[in-house]
Amino acid sequence: MPEQLLFTRLLNHWFAGPTTAMLQALHIQPQYREAPITNAVAMEVLVVALLLVVFIMVRSRLSVESPGGLQHMFEGVNGFIEGQSRDVIGHHSERFTPFLVALGLFILIANLFGVVPGLESPTGSPVVPLGCAICAFVYYQVQGFKTSGVGYLKHFLGPMWWLSPLMLPLEIISHLARLMSLTIRLYANMFAGDMVTLVFFSLIPIAVPVIFLGLHIGVALLQAYIFVLLTTVYLAGAVATEH
């Protein structure tokens, strides 16, 4: 059985039975029946719980006259993403802000978990970046259909009608490649960051790993930002209408 973090062990202690039963009902056989919840899933649950608690705290203390530090911080994050999506998508981009902020914060917190002792980055496991990429992919396709209706399919047919039999498979592959590139970039960067930190901790456990922890924090911020920015660029392409 793989090594379990404390939080994973707790979740497996409480929820192993119902989780195994649910997986078997879906005809999925867990590798370890007594520990079906992996570290990545447990860390994802922790990220969501943490974000929920913070959002509830911010919501309950919202104030126009005397906004607190947390409110200022989240207003800043929201304003930053909103401004960026306005620059990339144009007018009427505000409706995408909640999704982009939620996605960005989830990835950022998940990435930063790697520098906290006793926790690990769920994004260092390929399934979590894949899940985020699938969310982004489904979201921008749905928004494309919502904006242009069936006319959105024209995006897949190329500029000239006689080229469409060739362009259709190419566009389908291009869109699926975006899914893969989002996944691989985030996973590879976080996995490599974790490995570098781990290796230097085992080689020189004093002072030197701090540099690599700093690097890991920088990579975590940059990768979360790039993920959100590319999702915004894809959204801009999907909701763009030809005049």
Partner 1 sequence: MASDPQEPDKKNSWVQMANYAQLAVIFPAATVVGWLIGVALDRWLHTTWLYIVGLLLGIVAGFVELIRTAMKNSS
Using CB under 8 A as the criterion, which residues of the chain lie in contact with partner 1 when the complex forms?
83-84, 87-88, 169-171, 173-174, 176-178, 180-181, 184-185, 225-226, 229-230, 233
Per the CB < 8 A criterion, the answer to whether 114 and 121 are in contact is yes
- Report how far residue 128's alpha carbon sits from residue 130's, in angstroms, rounded to the nearest whole number: 5
User: Which is nearer to partner 1, 24 or 181 (by Cβ)?
Assistant: 181
Write b or e for each residue in 5-42: b if 16 or more Cβ atoms lie within 10 A of its Cβ, otherwise e.
Answer: bebbeebbeeebeebbeeeeeeeeebeeeebbbbbbbb
- Report how far residue 187's alpha carbon sits from residue 90's, in angstroms, rounded to the nearest whole number: 30
User: Which is nearer to partner 1, 21 or 222 (by Cβ)?
Assistant: 222
Nearest Cα to Cα of residue 182 among 143, 219, 226: 226
- Report how far residue 218's alpha carbon sits from residue 24's, in angstroms, rounded to the nearest whole number: 41
Shortest distance, CB of residue 236 to partner 1, whole angstroms?
9
User: Which is nearer to partner 1, 171 or 194 (by Cβ)?
Assistant: 171
Shortest distance, CB of residue 126 to partner 1, whole angstroms?
14
Shortest distance, CB of residue 178 to partner 1, whole angstroms?
7
- Report how far residue 204's alpha carbon sits from residue 34's, in angstroms, rounded to the nearest whole number: 37
Shortest distance, CB of residue 166 to partner 1, whole angstroms?
8
Output phi, psi for 159, to 5 deg. Answer: -80, -25
Shortest distance, CB of residue 82 to partner 1, whole angstroms?
12
User: Which is nearer to partner 1, 68 or 83 (by Cβ)?
Assistant: 83
Shortest distance, CB of residue 148 to partner 1, whole angstroms?
19
User: Which is nearer to partner 1, 56 or 176 (by Cβ)?
Assistant: 176
User: Which is nearer to partner 1, 25 or 173 (by Cβ)?
Assistant: 173
Rg (Cα) of the chain, in Å, rounded? 21
- What is each CA distance from 154 to 143, 149, 167, 178, 234, in whole angstroms? 15, 10, 10, 19, 16
